[in-house]
Structure 1
Amino acid sequence: SIAPGTGTPVRGGLTYREAHLACELIAESGNMVSMDIVEVNPILDHENQTGKLAVELILSALGKTII
């Protein structure tokens, strides 16, 4: 899994790119007023992989693009 540090893994969830695209579209809309990052559990994570992904998604939602 791309995000192993979660207490509720979901088979068939969003891919890395789908999650970034969703966050990029939110940023482009200019309508985001708050954001809540949940289910990042460092105890279950491997080498902070999920934490790093959470930071990347936050940055995308704030306007940073990955391409």
Structure 2
Amino acid sequence: MTSVPAADGTPVRGCGPGGSRGDSCVEVAARADAAHVRDSEVAAGPGPAVAPGAWTLFLTGVTSGRARGG
């Protein structure tokens, strides 16, 4: 995992080169107002801003194993 500042100085966390398993990766800039998510290969592209409560629920689901990819 790497941490690089966004243009506004907000730390952005994401995978190192090649992704976590050599595939796709997302980067997240967690701010007080929202978690800003972007594709690591399209850093300048659009990405969703997720409300803090929704981001917390998402992370809880992922870390508990309740959210599984298909």
Which structure has more relative contact order (CA 8 Å, sep 6+)? It is 1
Greater share of helix: 1
Greater share of strand: 2
TM-score when normalising by structure 1: 0.31
TM-score when normalising by structure 2: 0.30
